[in-house]
Structure 1
């Protein structure tokens, strides 16, 4: 029985070192063999996914910045690896922490804003007032658009971490009730946990895709 419900998200370890953050680098130990081992079906599947993402991101980006789709594919891969690794027992989920998600979202958003305001100043100013806005509402629309633009990195980071925390907490809560249930109810609990794990697997993929696609949309707005 855990002393604290949120102890599974604690990055500290018994050695008083944050060794759990090393789970973020576990994906790198899987990638190198793809370059020298004979490609298997899993490798072909992964390359197919990357090619599909590249084509989709390329449609959203302008002709001048189509090469930057590789950045968003790498972002998708990093988040997907960490989301999947967090589904295994006793592996720290780094994407459930704002430290990880905000450090991915904030630099991207800042680079988009700096690039847009320095290179396309008129275009960025035009975005603050939607087309067809009445003159009397223009000051309010500028405030609303500015606020919605500023909170973008926060919404990206919170969306990812909140989804990871919610699923893990639900599975932890159900798992802690196992010792108090009868044999019949334990069978139902196991089936429920398997269904929840399947749902969490889908959420892991969806959240990685949502983070990458929204970052791509924010990038396309500054060009």
Structure 2
């Protein structure tokens, strides 16, 4: 029996072990060797997406200095997007809907960027605390505000991803729970609304992966 609505996102399958986190490995099914050896529509769509991402990230990063960052961030985008897609299948645990997944990823990125920035580009990081043109009377407050905004970046990245992935699934669960008590006409309306929600969730899966990666790219660009 479901104790609360959020128990559908519970990753525990038993008291001693958890197999639901293995869903993160299911993304390997999307990239078999056949797609890389023989040109196909899947590989063509994948290359179009990657070329678009490269064009977007070129405007945010200095490619000569941050080429490895570009490849790393694109890998993160693909990893998050495919994990979000896996949550659209029935009876598959959505790992990206848990803060354990998103906070671990965002906190690691944030710590890496901050350590690199403060160790290698210390003066540059201090300059970011006081934006250009700030009045002298507001400098102390701007330093405090910028410091707080830097400290909460990892949390906002994680909560944004997890909350958006939970919201759609939770809404579909709420709507479908009333199906047994609806009339035939309302049942068709419910199925139509569920179909629209599934399409919306598919777009959210891509958008949230893109937002997470773009914000990570901006944070990386600030430290170089």
Smaller-chain TM-score bracket:
over 0.9
Structure 1 counterpart of 2:151: 150
How far apart, in 2, do the equivalents of 1:46 and 1:218 lie? 26
Structure 1 unmatched ranges of 5 or more: none
Give the direction of change, closer, same or farther, for the CA distance of 1:153–1:34 in structure 2 (3 Å limit): farther
The within-5 A match list for 1:49-128 is: 49-62=49-62, 63-128=64-129
Note the 1:180-191 alignment, pairs <5 A.
Answer: 180-191=181-192
Structure 2: stretches of 5+ with no match in the other structure: none
TM-score by length of 2: 0.95
Taking the TM superposition and a 5 Å limit, the aligned residue runs for 1:165-184 are 165-184=166-185
TM-score (norm 1): 0.96
In structure 2, C-alpha distance between the alignment counterparts of 1:65 and 1:36, rounded to whole Å: 26
Q: Is the 8 A contact 1:11 1:92 kept in 2?
A: yes
Matching residue of 2:48: 48
Report deviation, 1:35.
Answer: 5.3
* Residues 106-145 of structure 1: per-residue CA shift (max 9 Å, x gap): 1111111111111111110000001111111111110000
Q: Who is 1:28 aligned against? A: 28
Q: Distance in 1 between matches of 2:65 and 2:37?
A: 35
- CA distance in 2: counterparts of 1:68 and 1:153, whole angstroms: 18
Q: How far has the Cα of 1:30 moved from its partner?
A: 2.6
The alignment of Structure 1 onto Structure 2 pairs a total of residues equal to 223
User: Which residue does the alignment assign to 1:159?
Assistant: 160
What SS does structure 1 have at the residue aligned with 2:89? coil
The answer as to whether partners of 1:34 and 1:43 remain within 8 angstroms in 2 is no
Q: 1:16 to 1:39 in 2, by over 3 A?
A: farther
Give the whole-Å Cα distance in 1 for the aligned partners of 2:74 and 2:213: 7
Taking the aligned partners of 1:116 and 1:134, their CA distance within structure 2 comes to 25
Q: CA deviation at 1:43?
A: 1.1
- Distance between the aligned counterparts of 1:37 and 1:20, measured in 2? 31
